[in-house]
Structure 1
Amino acid sequence: MSRYLVDKFLYTVDRDPELVERYRTDPHGTVTWWEAERANAVLNCHTGEASTWLRFTDEERDALASHDHVRLFALGAHPFLTLTLFIAMFERDHAEPMAYQKQYGLRLAHFSLPYPDIAT
């Protein structure tokens, strides 16, 4: 599991409104594109530096492509990164204030301490 790469995906997509919409409407395509085009770019570096070895595992790719924040949490993705991105994508689908955040929390309620390790 590359928690770094999953967290990098969540972080970079959340900071680009066009990518948020793309991920909302075409999650499989966005994950595939991002892994091929952005995964190996150095974070916050605009000089063209890149690595060549970073790839999602099949389980990570599937969890990201299915918007499965529960499985992402179990895999060690940082819950705040997942929550902020998923609020941007799905809060608009709920009429009641905080409805998405409550749903997010309820879906994670079966986890007990100690939580999965979120260190990268």
Structure 2
Amino acid sequence: MSKYLVNKFLYTVDRDPELVERYRTDPRGTVAWWEAEKANQLLNCTTGEASTWLAFTDEERDALVAHDHVRLFEMGAHPFLTLTLFIAMFEHDHEPLGYVKAYAAKMSHLQLPYPDIAT
């Protein structure tokens, strides 16, 4: 897994309210668009420089499209990135702190040592 690329996706989508909503309502389209258009742009770089080799694996793409934060964490995605993005997408559908509690409940089967989240 490219933890860097998955975390970059989570980070960049979370910082744009329009992308957050787009990802919530059209995850497959958003993931495909982001991978084609944004994945190879250098993070926080405004010079137009880009790489050419970064792409999601099928497993990463499937987990992102499914909004599967548990699987993303199991693969090494940073939990703070999934939590903040998924709160932005789903908290308004729950009572206060309801989504955070649901997120934690889905992660409750995990035990130490947790997956390595270093990139």
TM-score range, shorter chain: over 0.9
Number of matched pairs: 119
Q: Deviations over 1:10-36 (max 9, x none)?
A: 000000000000000000000000000
Task: Specify every segment of 5 or more residues in structure 1 that has no aligned partner in the other structure, as ranges.
Answer: none
1:113 maps to amino acid: L
Task: Specify every segment of 5 or more residues in structure 2 that has no aligned partner in the other structure, as ranges.
Answer: none
Q: Distance in 2 between matches of 1:109 and 1:103?
A: 10
Q: Distance in 1 between matches of 2:97 and 2:67?
A: 19
Aligned residue number for residue 8 of structure 2 = 8
Q: Deviations over 1:26-60 (max 9, x none)?
A: 00000000000000000000100000000000000
Aligned residue number for residue 29 of structure 1 = 29
Aligned residue number for residue 111 of structure 2 = 112
Shift of 1:97: 1.1
> After TM superposition, which residue ranges in structure 1, 4 or more long, deviate above 2 angstroms?
none
Q: Distance in 2 between matches of 1:119 and 1:40?
A: 20
Q: Distance in 2 between matches of 1:43 and 1:54?
A: 13
- Partner of 1:110, secondary structure, is coil
CA RMSD between the two structures: 0.3
Q: Distance in 2 between matches of 1:16 and 1:73?
A: 22
- Partner of 1:41, secondary structure, is coil
Q: Distance in 2 between matches of 1:48 and 1:25?
A: 29
Shift of 1:83: 0.2
2:116 maps to amino acid: D
Q: Percent identity?
A: 79
Confirm or deny that 1:99 pairs with 2:95: no
Report matched runs for 1:21-60 at 5 Å: 21-60=21-60
Q: Distance in 2 between matches of 1:25 and 1:99?
A: 20
Q: Deviations over 1:85-111 (max 9, x none)?
A: 0000000001x2100000000000000
